[in-house]
Structure 1
């Protein structure tokens, strides 16, 4: 901006820096030479780790999105014709594809996709039945899995080997224009809450990019933190941890608090901020607005259910919601431990005592606990297993909540997002695991028993309500000690010798803690009232 001085000459006048977020920044400091060097090293590490999409992969992704766009346009025209609309309406009939989810693309990443269609094309029958059947007939489509009863209904499949999560939103227009702007609230009138949630994936992603001071720095930091979360076992919305949108919101808030920081600084500040965050105080990128359409927004003062959210991370687009409603006390505890791990390593990196690779060491889940629940999922054939596994996995979070409830939080759970496959099993099979331990720091618990047979039975009863159940679909829940874990959970098919393990690799535990836990004094054999050999099968009644 230029102004005229009294003598007539032009002078440059600097504009005040724009404030981002609902509070002032913590620091306006830019990078030092050491920060710039660390940032270069971090970017080199991310590239060498294969986290950036190649030109060929980007082109393939765009090609696949083009095919899906053609499919949904043809599907809408077909329905328009079948419902007796005029030839002109059939000609104009349209559906538009948007992508969202994480704002960074890496090799092999799922593509989160939203299809927006006209008012007369519905989700329940037209999308989940008619479009599903069209996709099922296509050779390019594999692993087709509809999840109509999810919080955000979704159809999952692979198209030419690329994983797609496809949502659907029917808006109050007879004809959907190709240049539709879904960031505007005009798309929201007269739609249900599932449609609002479907639309908000894209709307929130767009809004985030408007609310960060430097999009390039935000994207690199998010790429780094998502990779870290996957390596440390805390990237999974369905399991009760955080998904791509949640991590994007957390990173964006740190970018607002340190607007001039480079990604290496932002990663370090991320852990510094969230190890000290006093949950359940919410993370918000902007103020919550009520809006004029009457949709409920997150407000624990008005909505009793919002008071029970443990880690609220609020979306910035109207209607503002808590994106992390799946987080439980158990998964919050695990994430806080991992934040502390990240903070410790970042301090060491800044002191030149560690390299970036140390931050991304995989979490040794199967060495962290003495006791585990093993949830085996089996089916008569591979296609049935895909649908059955999806159903069970979407409900595993409920098992964590029920164990918390029935033991008054005294038995802590650590659900692990990874699935494991037993290739030696004659039936299609996969397994999930949950670490178990007594709550620390509570006196009088030594020797306390936890009988969770009734809890598991209740969980099995709920699982048995699967509307697409077929003979052969079963679930088994059993208690195993660490030394009895099956070989298929280990990367090389066998346990590492004890001498190769290092106590410091168990997050948040001192050498003394690890030695004590390995002594067997706290082993749950028999204590859970689940004998090691006991499996709890679910048979369809």
Structure 2
């Protein structure tokens, strides 16, 4: 890992270098880049990503009013604490913004992330969540006021004149807060408590990003584009294990550093080109990781064992530097790499006018992508309880992905949908979904199935630890087939009878078939190739296929280890026969090139990606791509530490990581609650189904089981039903026939 290199370095041809490495290219925009950038800006405007002038003015007024309120608040508490008139007069607090609003990429109706900075005598518990909360609660302009003092980053959420505000608090060791305070200076962290350091981090990181990009305007347009793309493709969600706003901002900022003179059209294209080839867990960093003088922990896998398990490190640029993407799992990393690959193919097609921006931003058809899903239903007795329960469950859903990966030795891969779906027919109820897919490239064994009962039990046990749990707060996990997905998840509550349009990869595959080439399927929505169930025509789904040896030879190395150099120089065949703590069942490892690495994380694409090694663009363009590839290899040539986790290590770190990072909306006292006992396994593995929603739910838990008792008294447990196992051996193969 590069540590100690400057973030702002020497000049290249009179231009200040930004980042820890030389740029990949200093080339400026072509006429085509200028034209396509204008097209992109128009597309973003038409997509409604920019707020109106009236809304912008309204936000400014709200922030100004909020700044006045905290100034009155700090003088009020200063007087109440007995400070003299001079100190009361000088007492000050200040409002800062961060996140998408500070970056200038927020859209209409978006929340404003704000930070209140106060003096040393203004406490968080008594004054911020006490007096300031009281003041806000008495204002007619303030609605939906919700304090969360026990969160990992304590927060107060409310609406001010209809504008959503997320307000954090930082108590500095200063007696007087100057009006021209610069929160980017490390000195303000001196004497700060952990909550203050975490609260200040958002502002400090946002300001550093804006300092470390060569063109703020190009950065903003590119980031708006990537945020829209990520949301359309279903990979925008930190809590679900994908990437959130700050992660996408850091990734885009690094591309801006590597191509400092490029316009957004080229920056978007290079985003996909670079991150398709990036060898994770090589970290993405905008500047050097500084140790600092305050002794705060920073991201360093050489010294911190926990940091070695991060699959997709994206490091924040402000001290203390941390990994902002710790939530990424092997399944979500695989999905994002597939989406990067799709984006790269489309951008290359756009260069020859064979695709357009509509193609890039095509929405991902999640409910057409898989045959098997998990449905997680949550409910509560009232609106307030549902809001709390929903926030808690969402913060734990990522654990279900991790547990399923581990219990199935990563042979079953999960694709969580980034958001929930309310059922309007049932108040205080919401459903979450997770696509399930057998790991590609692994031979199917006769009679093999996946029993998820233990993973589900462990997940529910963790969820039911919520100490503010009330009567009516329930969670239910069921296995559903694609045809059994409830209608309320679809727009207007109407299930589509057929795909709305031909998707990019489906079109691409058709072109390649005509030309005699073979380009493998990578995108979920591309697995649906016929009309809906009512048409009677069979769908061929990539995740449903039982692959023959010939079919596997024609597919990409998604889920397999490709023949390429491992990113860790100290990995040996003897120490690398385990993938996520289980022996790889593909046979004897013949060479280091076949070695899986770091808990089943992303595969190296250099051999299996035809668009990297088989660049079919002639002349200077081909040479330019090869030069970029070599430059990228050099960037990622730093030393890294490989570490294989033991099962007990992972279990311990998993819980500890959640305690460190997840937002908590619960008190410190644990209530005594019974957790549902483990589900018995069926003797014959036969599938059964019960009527629920539309009569097709295959339960992973008995519906009759009563909720854990809130008072510790054992509840009667109904007779258990056989658990439903996911059996992939009778699915249709590539020819449409059953295996």
Is the Cα–Cα contact under 8 Å of residues 453 and 700 in structure 2 kept in the other structure?
A: no
- Structure 2 partner of 1:4: none
Does 2:58 correspond to 1:57?
no
Pairing 1:517–2:538 present: no
C-alpha distance 519-431 of structure 1, shift in aligned 2 (>3 A)? closer
Mapped to 2, the partners of 1:262 and 1:527 lie a distance apart of 57
Judged with a 3 Å threshold, the aligned counterparts in structure 2 of structure 1 residues 512 and 323 are, in CA distance, closer, same or farther, namely closer
Aligned to 2:699: 531
Asked whether the 8 Å contact 1:475–1:537 carries over to 2, the reply is: no
Question: Deviation digits for residues 342-368 of structure 1, max 9, x if unmatched?
Answer: 112211211101121211111111111
The secondary structure found in structure 1 opposite 2:475 is: strand
Tell me the equivalent position of 2:481: 481
1:333 aligns with 2:334: yes
User: Residues 502 and 416 of structure 1: is their aligned pair in 2 closer, same or farther, counting only changes over 3 Å?
Assistant: same
Task: Please tell me whether residue 48 in structure 1 is matched to residue 46 in structure 2.
Answer: yes
| Alpha-carbon distance, 1:79 to partner | 2.8
What is the aligned partner in structure 1 of residue 17 from structure 2? 19
- Residue in 1 aligned with 2:630? none
Deviates more, 1:332-341 or 1:502-511: 502-511
Matched, 1:182 2:183: yes
Structure 1 stretches lacking a partner, 5+ long:
1-13
Q: CA distance change for structure 1 residues 157 and 391 in 2, over 3 Å: closer, same or farther? A: farther
Mapped pair 1:34 → 2:49: no
What's the CA shift for 1:68? 2.2
Measured after TM superposition, the shift of residue 47 of structure 1 is 1.2
Q: Which residue is 2:363 aligned to?
A: 362
Change (3 A) 1:133 1:430: farther
1:221-279 residue CA offsets vs partner (Å, 9 max, x unmatched): 11111111111111112222111111111001001111111001000100111111100
- Do 2:20 and 2:286's aligned partners in 1 also have CA atoms closer than 8 Å? yes
**2:454 equivalent to 1:454:** yes
Structure 2 CA distance, aligned partners of 1:475 and 1:134? 37
Q: CA deviation at 1:492?
A: 2.6
> For residues 144-182 of structure 1, what are the alpha-carbon distances to aligned partners after superposition, in whole Å with 9 as ceiling and x for unaligned?
444444443333333222222222111111222222110
Superposed, 1:145-164 pairs within 5 Å as 145-164=146-165
User: Aligned pair 1:264/2:270, yes or no?
Assistant: no
In the alignment, the residues of structure 1 paired with residue 543 and residue 330 of structure 2 have an alpha-carbon distance, to the nearest angstrom, of 28
Q: Is residue 143–residue 383 contact of structure 1 (8 Å, CA) maintained in 2?
A: no
Give RMSD over aligned pairs: 2.7
Classify the secondary structure of the residue corresponding to 1:412.
strand
Displacement after TM superposition at 1:533 (Å): 8.2
Deviation at 1:534, TM superposition (A): 4.6
- Report the TM-score, using the length of structure 1 for normalisation: 0.90
Q: Equivalents in 1 of 2:686, 2:57: separation in Å?
A: 54
1:428 to 2:428 alignment: yes
- What residue in structure 1 maps to residue 472 of structure 2? 472
Query: Secondary structure at 2:113's aligned position in 1?
Result: strand
Distance 1:177 1:449 in 2: 64
Output aligned runs, 1:322-401, within 5 Å: 322-401=323-402
SS, match of residue 316 in structure 2: coil
Q: Return the offset for 1:521.
A: 6.6
Q: Secondary structure at the match of 1:492?
A: helix
* Aligned mates of 2:465, 2:319 — CA distance in 1: 34
2:254 is aligned to 253
Partner Cα distance (2:380, 2:121) in 1:
38
Q: CA deviation at 1:448?
A: 2.7
Do the aligned partners of 1:464 and 1:540 also contact (CA within 8 Å) in 2? no
Could you list the per-position Cα deviations for residues 416-472 of structure 1 after superposition, in whole angstroms to 9, with x for gaps in the alignment?
1222111111x3222221111111112245643222223222222222232333322
Is the CA contact (8 Å cut-off) linking 2:343 and 2:360 kept in structure 1?
Answer: yes
Q: Could you list the per-position Cα deviations for residues 294-344 of structure 1 after superposition, in whole angstroms to 9, with x for gaps in the alignment?
A: 111111001111101111011111111111111111211111111112112
Q: How far apart in 1 are the matches of 2:42 and 2:235?
A: 24
Q: What secondary structure is seen at the aligned counterpart in 1 of 2:95?
A: strand
Q: 1:80 aligns with which of 71, 78, 81?
A: 78
The worse-fitting range, judged by mean Cα deviation, of 324-333 and 138-147 is 138-147
SS in 1 for 2:16: coil
> Structure 1 pair 459/141, CA: closer, same or farther in 2 (3 Å)?
farther
Stretches of structure 2 lacking an aligned partner (at least 5 in a row):
1-11, 507-520, 530-538, 547-684, 690-696, 711-739
Quote the Cα distance in structure 2 between the aligned partners of 1:145 and 1:390.
13
CA distance in 2, matches of 1:372, 1:332: 19
Match of 2:578 in 1: none
8 Å contact kept, 1:145–1:386: no
CA contact (8 A) 1:114 1:198 kept: yes
C-alpha change, 1:519 and 1:66, in structure 2 (3 Å) is closer
What CA distance in whole angstroms lies between the structure 1 residues aligned with 2:199 and 2:434? 30
Equivalent in the alignment of 1:493: 493
Can you list the C-alpha shifts for 1:167-212, whole angstroms capped at 9, x where unaligned?
2111111222222110111110111333212111111111111111
Task: Check whether the contact 1:477–1:537 (CA below 8 A) recurs between aligned residues.
Answer: no
Q: Secondary structure at the match of 1:169?
A: strand
Rounded Cα–Cα distance in structure 2 between residues aligned with 1:492 and 1:405 = 37
SS in 2 for 1:201: helix
Q: Are positions 1:317 and 2:318 aligned together? A: yes
In 2 relative to 1, CA 18–85 (structure 1 residues): closer, same or farther, beyond 3 Å?
Answer: same
CA separation of 1:477 and 1:132: change in aligned 2, threshold 3 A = farther
How many angstroms does 1:21 deviate by? 1.0
Task: Give the Cα–Cα distance (whole angstroms) in 1 for the partners of residues 524 and 461 of structure 2.
Answer: 37
Are 2:437 and 2:543, in contact at CA under 8 Å, matched by a contact in 1? Answer: no
SS at structure 1 position matched to 2:114? strand
Q: Is the 8 A contact 1:331 1:414 kept in 2?
A: yes
3-state SS of 1:220 partner: helix
Task: Confirm whether residue 295 of structure 1 aligns to residue 296 of structure 2.
Answer: yes
Conservation of the 8 A alpha-carbon contact between 1:451 and 1:530:
no
Distance in 1, matches of 2:278 and 2:545, equals: 34
SS in 1 for 2:285: coil
d(CA) in 1 for partners of 2:271, 2:446 = 37
Aligned to 2:309: 308
Task: Tell me if structure 1 keeps the 8 A contact 2:55–2:108.
Answer: yes
Listed as ranges, the matches of 1:214-229 within 5 Å are 214-229=215-230
Deviation at 1:105, TM superposition (A): 2.4
Shift of 1:525: 9.0
